[in-house]
Structure 1
């Protein structure tokens, strides 16, 4: 028999966006519905009267949190290329970095099994012979059962759940293996903002925009093999291979309860669809998928050092 309470209905809907389990989603939904006016507004929106976006699935509350979540989202999609090359390499196997998100004032993320090393490679700032890799101003704080990412001089925070000191060390093994293979000898930046980081930010400000809201909704793309993204300022482009249709994703991002706040559909590019809130834009499209006929050769390839940080039998 189908569950009928408002809470249960919202829990099921929220999990379709975040990938949370019941023990994570139920308390969050109950807390959101604590105020009677919120409950009435959400119930009305579910019945097609008005909207209640941001109440049951909140978005980032300030620019710093949004910026941090945007760079983490970007790192997550970039990590997909690393995950595709994990032996046996495959373009068809799911290559997502994030399994679930617990969105609140801050974001708590649950990683897929092999994602930590690639994420650390993409995120941790290091100075490499005149250029800066990683995210300037990002620092980590190790907790007993999690790793916290912060931006210097802000309150912004993203937590990687389940990443203890041992798992962090394993992730760094991947980073160092890949750096060695590529002949990189850079020094990881710690402490206050370095001169190199300051110069980099002056030339390349951190991305903002709707990438943060996508980070909080990772389950939207659970049925795609991978997702690619890139950004310029407040504008994002996101694509994935044929699997989940663009129209279905856009419809869910326009949902009156769980969609993006204050957005409307706008003309897309290259056959896709777009969303905008007037100054931030997101363009989504589906691209041709990989050819399954190439999978056997890809899996058998002997990758030279520097292409991948995985061991041959990872």
Structure 2
């Protein structure tokens, strides 16, 4: 057994549930080995993504949630639009020196913080979605996620300002959901992330010219008011879309709502942490990293509980027993045929 085959087998063993792995594991490994170059020693990133995605679908199928895939793709589209819209607004504020005094940042050159690079990466993902959706869009989102996380230690190393943690956490949560964007969306759907960012630009310009007066106050940084509003808008849009689909006996909207509960909670993170600070310490709503972390954990756990309850309810209603389904090869995220069952 070659090193490459051993690593593919280990990857399949990690990603797929036991029943499906025993029935189809050898076939899956053989497919990837046949498509790999003779000198390759490690699975490619695209193959790892394919195997992980196929394994996740089979694990969801085993819990009775085989229909969640379309809901995840809908949620991913809404999450990407929300993330790029926010990125467009934040980038404009970063570039505008009028906002510097009340933002509390020391201005360096043309931007008020190194967060500008983060927002540029998210805007790049919106452009990639228009030009070449699918695998390249997911790679662009992955790059934006890495930069969003890396900006925290980087700011400490270079001693530069960065966006607040609650802003970055909201962006990361949206980005993780956005990784599920469909590979071949309709043309109008591909334009939505760019359109959202474009709409955010004049709003941010108006806000900057006002000098922050409209949103100044309780939380200092405008995100303290903007993010909860965006979270509410995302929730309302998802509910409306879900109701419209439910009329046609399509439950994608319900699954999308469940998937987006986590990001919506993160968008409301700062006011939740502020209320938690009042409950824990009394006095004013001054959220620190401890209350932010506690609120983030509470929001994530609550979303996970609701999703688990929904999966359990669906399993009790419709699930009889796990079964291994047969089917032909489907196209993976890398464009290669992957042995997996369609959702």
Give the TM-score normalised by structure 1: 0.28
Q: Which has more strand, going by share of residues? A: 1
Asked which structure has the greater CA Rg, the reply is 2
Give the TM-score normalised by structure 2: 0.26
Q: Which has more helix, going by share of residues? A: 2
